[in-house]
Amino acid sequence: MRSSPLHDLLQLSHEIGREDRGLVIVGEGNTSTRLSSETFLVKASGARLINLARDEVVECRFAPILALLDKSRLSDEQIDDTLLAARVSPTAKKPSLESVFHAWLLTLPGINFVGHAHATTVNQVLCSPRAKEFAECRTIPDEGVCCGIASVYVPYADPGLKVARLIRRHTQSFIRRHQHRPRVILMQNHGIITMGPTPQSVLSAMMMAEKAAKVFVGAATLGGPIFLSRKTIRRFAGRPDEAYRTRALKL
């Protein structure tokens, strides 16, 4: 029996929210999934991923939220009013403030699910002078397979509309440069976004990025890290056995 997008989103949220994984605590992080070309589901503001419930997921219309990206001089109140007006049900809870970047990322080809977390080790790196280096390089082969040959790096901006605009700009630049969409976005002093066609692709990229950050931090204490060459990473990403494994793991 096929599961529903809501069921899949709740499962993904609960997996990201597991406290033993160190990806989020309390009300941190958010998740989303595309329902159609008109609407998507996103976590409600203030809800906890670990026990996210059906009534804490909000169906929103893309159009009014995406329109925020190209409007100037908006007050916080105007942004809040737009998010509330975008709800399909007027009695639903308030959508997450980060719904703007979720809405835009879900319009990218092949993106059905998006997850955002404040992963502990990833943030150790993102709060350091080596954040951009971590985003653009790879230390272990599976990082290249699960997270792509590089991640989008986004300088710090206020959460909400400001960071959503920067995410759009830097992601578009990444796509022009690499000729494919990213799997991971890293936001300085903030956190990680992973995206993909399935919940498993989102979770796998996030957990692999957290592992890679642990490797990075550990290697840095020993005078490293030593990065894999871009040629090596492209080779792993393009190998037939890795393509088979990617399909088997639903990445």
pLDDT of residue 208: 97
Q: How far apart are the first and last CA of the chain?
A: 21
pLDDT of residue 67: 98
Residue 114 to residue 19: CA distance in whole angstroms: 19
Q: Give, for all 251 residues of the chain, the pLDDT tens digit.
A: 568 999 999 999 999 999 999 999 999 999 999 999 999 999 999 999 999 999 999 999 999 999 999 998 899 999 999 999 999 999 999 999 999 999 999 999 999 999 999 999 999 999 999 999 999 999 998 998 899 999 999 999 999 999 999 999 999 999 999 999 999 999 999 999 999 999 999 999 999 999 999 999 999 999 999 999 988 887 766 656 555 556 666 66
Sign for the CA dihedral angle at 187, 107, 247, 117 comes to positive
pLDDT of residue 3: 84
Strands, E assignment, 24-178: 30-34, 39-43, 57-61, 113-117, 152-154
What CATH number does the domain located at 5-248 have?
3.40.225.10
CB of 78 closer than 8 Å to CB of 153? no
